[in-house]
Amino acid sequence: MTRLYNDPAEFAGEVLDGFVAAHQRWVRRVPGGVVRNTAKTPGQVAVLVGGGSGHYPAFTGLVGQGLAHGAVSGNIFASPSAQQACSVARAAESGGGVLLLFGNYAGDVLHFGHAAEILTQQGIPTKAFAVTDDVSSAPADQTAKRRGVAGDLTVFKAAAAAAEAGLDLDEVYRVAERANDRTRSLGVAFSGCTLPGADAPLFTVPEGKMAVGMGIHGEPGIGEADVPSADGLAELFVRTLLADLPSDITDVRGQRAGVILNGLGTVKHEELFVVYRRVAQLLAEAGVEVVDPEVGEFVTSFDLAGASLTLFWLDDELERYWTAPADAPAFRKGSLTPAPPAPEDLAVESAEQTVPEASEESREAARVVFTALEAVRKVIDGNADELGRIDAVAGDGDHGIGMQRGAVAAVDAAREALRLGAGAGTLLALAGDAWADKAGGTSGALWGLLLRSIANTLGDKEKPTAAAVSEGVAAGLENVLRVGGARVGDKTLVDVLAPFAETLATAVGESRGLTEAWGRAAEQADAAAKATADLVPKIGRARPLAEKSVGTPDAGAVSLALITDVVHGVLAERKGV
C-alpha cells in the first residue's frame, strides 16, 4: 500500500524534489531528470540511464561518479519523453557523445531512440541501448524481445565504468552490449503494488502463490507456483539461470559471476539474506565464483512483494568494470577520489515560445481543434480509471494515467498556442509535442506522432479541408506502423486506427462532408475496439500468459475509439466545418 503522497498527479515530481534535496552532493535537477553535481571530464562519454518513476533506486539513485552521468525520469511507470532525454543529455554531455541506457519497454525504446536521432542531428553523437536481461519474457532464441529488469544495473555499471576509463562512444556501446549479452535475471512476485492515490493494487497474485517471471510493472510471467521456502526460491532462481547461459559459456564450472539479489519492494533485507545464503551455496556447488555480490533493492516497484536474481557472467574486462569504484546515492563500491563540485551555473534550457503567422481561416479552425482537444481531455478524464484497469489485464496499467497527463498537457499547450494566435496546424503540433512529452510511455509517443502527422497536412494557411484531415490521419497511421512496430491483429491501437483511416478516406472520397465522414469512421472505430477483445497481444507482452487478456479489449484501442467518437460530437455541433 502506498500511503504517503500529496496530489497523486504531482507524485513523480515531488519524489524527484525530495530525492535531490537529500542528495545534493551527488546530483542536481535539470528539466527531465537529474545530472551529476560534480565537475565534468571533458571528452568523456556521458552515460545516461532512465525510464519511468517508481523503481527507485532506478534510475536517479544510480547517478554519480563511476556510474551514470544523469538519469531521465518519467512519470510513474511511464517512459520519459524524447524531449526529456534530450534536455538531460545536453546538461550531462561533455564532448564525448552520449549513451542512453534503459530497459527494453516499447515506450522507452521509442522515446530514447527518437532522442538519439535528435541529439545526433544536433551534433551530439548519441546511441541508445535497451537492456534485455529478463529470461522469463521471451525464449532464449529471442533474447532481443526480453524485458529489462534488475540486470539494468550490471549493464549501466559496466558501460559507465568503461566511459570513466576513457573509452569512446562506440567502445562504451560495445561494452554495454557485451554486458547485456552476459546478464540474466529471473523474478517472482507474491503480490502487486498499489500506485499513489489508487485504492486497489495494480494486479494481484492469489494468496499463497507466486507469479514466476512477472515483470516489474506486473507484466504476466511464465506461470504460477506455491510460495516456496527461502531455500526453494534460491533453488528455482539458480536452476533457471544456470539453464539459460550466454551463448559463449558451455560449462559454468570455473566461471566468475557478479550476483544481484534484488528486492522489489516489500520483501525485506532479512528475507533476502536467507535466500542469498542458499544462492551462495548453490553457486559454490556449481563451481561458480561469486564476485562482489549485491543483496538489496536496486530496481523496485513500490510495494510489490517480489524478488529477482541476476547473474552477470564476467570476463576479465567485464570484471574490471563491475568491480570498479562507484559513488552514487544508492550504489557505492570501493574507494574513489571525490571529483570537485560542478560549477553553479550549469546551463539549463529555457525557450520563449513563438508561433508562425496564420490565416484567419486557420485560426478559426484552431479554435475548433482546441474545443475538440478539450472534449478529448474530458472523455479521457472520465474513463482514466477504467482504461487503467483494462490495461492492467495484460500490460502495466499505466494507460489511463498516461493518456490523462497527455491530454491535459495537450490542452494546456493548445490554449497557449491559441493565445499566441497559432493556426490549426501549429496548435495541433504543439499539442502533440506536449502530449508526447508529458504522457511518456508508448501511447504518449504514438499520440504525439499521430497529432503531428495531422498537423502537418493542416498547416496554418488554408481552411482545413476534409481531404486534408483524411490525409493527415492516413499519414499518422503510416508513421505509427513504422515507429510502433505493431500490425493489424496485434491487439493495439493500430487495430482501430487502420479501419478508421480507411473508412474516413473512403467517405471523403465519396465527397461526404468531414462531419459525416468522421462519424462513419468513428462507428467503425468503436466496433474495431470492441473486437480487440478477441485478440491475443503480439508485442510488448509476455507471450505465455498473454492469452489471459482475451475477453478484454486493448486499452489503447478503446481510448482511440472514445476519442474519435467525442471528436465527432464536436464536429457535429459545429456543423459548418
Q: Which residues bind a second copy (CB under 8 A)?
A: 1-6, 11, 14-19, 21-22, 53-54, 56-57, 61, 190-191, 196, 227, 229-231, 233, 261, 265-278, 280, 293-295, 297, 300, 302-303, 305, 307, 327, 332, 334-338
Nearest Cα neighbor of 150 from 325, 359, 298 is: 298
Pick between residue 248 and residue 270 the one whose CB is nearest to a second copy. 270
Query: By three-state DSSP, how is residue 135 classified?
Result: helix
Give the type of residue at 273. F
Locate 470 and state its grid cell.
483524411
Residue 6 or 353 with smaller CB distance to a second copy? 6
Q: What angle do CA 310, 316, 319 make, to 5 degrees?
A: 40
- Closest approach, Cβ 467 to a second copy, in A, equals 49
Minimum CB–partner distance for residue 55 and a second copy (Å): 9
Distances (CA, A) of 40 to 105, 164, 340, 557, 560: 30, 11, 9, 45, 45
Q: How far is CA 148 from the centre of its chain?
A: 11
CB of 252 to a second copy, least distance (A): 19
Residue 537 CB, nearest approach to a second copy (Å): 29
| Active site (annotated) includes residue 111 | no
User: By C-beta, is 269 or 378 nearer to a second copy?
Assistant: 269
Say if residues 186 and 135 touch (Cβ distance below 8 Å). Answer: yes
Q: Are 326 and 67 in contact (CB under 8 A)?
A: yes
Between 303 and 502, name the residue whose CB sits nearer to a second copy. Answer: 303
Q: How far is the C-alpha of 393 from the C-alpha of 382, rounded, in Å?
A: 20
Q: Residue 296 burial by CB count (10 A; 0-12/13-18/19+): exposed, middle or buried? A: middle
Instruction: Report the DSSP beta bridge partners of residue 76.
Output: 53
Residue placing its CB nearer to a second copy in the complex, 173 or 302: 302
Distance CA 115, CA 101 (A): 12
- Give the span between the Cα atoms of 90 and 56, in whole angstroms: 23
| Rounded least distance, CB 296 to a second copy, Å | 8
Q: Rounded to the nearest 10 degrees, what angle do helices 169-181 and 316-323 cross at? A: 100
Residue among 56 and 435 whose Cβ is closer to a second copy: 56
Return phi, psi of residue 355, to 5°. Answer: -125, 150
Could you give the CA distance from residue 498 to residue 450 in angstroms, rounded to a whole number?
Answer: 12
**CB atoms closer than 10 angstroms to residue 389:** 16
Q: Which residue has the cell 529470461?
A: 135
Q: Nearest distance from residue 45's CB to a second copy, in Å?
A: 24
3-state helix, strand, coil in the chain (%, to 5): 50, 15, 35
Angle CA 538–542–545, to nearest 5: 95
Q: Which residue among the candidates 23, 55, 114, 217 is catalytic per the annotation?
A: 217
Cell numbers at 523, concatenated: 462507428
Residues in the chain: 577
User: Helix/strand/coil (H, E, C) string of 465-497?
Assistant: CHHHHHHHHHHHHHHHHHHHCCCCCCCCCHHHH
Q: Which is nearer to a second copy, 23 or 184 (CB)?
A: 23
CA 574 centroid distance within chain: 38
Torsion angles phi and psi, residue 132, rounded to 5:
-135, 65
The answer for residues whose C-beta is within 8 angstroms of residue 281's C-beta and 6 or more apart is 234
Smallest separation, CB 24 to a second copy (Å): 9
User: Closest approach of Cβ 269 to a second copy, in Å?
Assistant: 4
314 or 394, CB closer to a second copy?
Answer: 314
Toward a second copy, which CB reaches closer, 1 or 348?
Answer: 1
- Number of helices (H), then strands (E), belonging to the chain: the values are 16, 14
Closest CB to a second copy among residues 8, 513: 8
Residues recognised as catalytic: 217
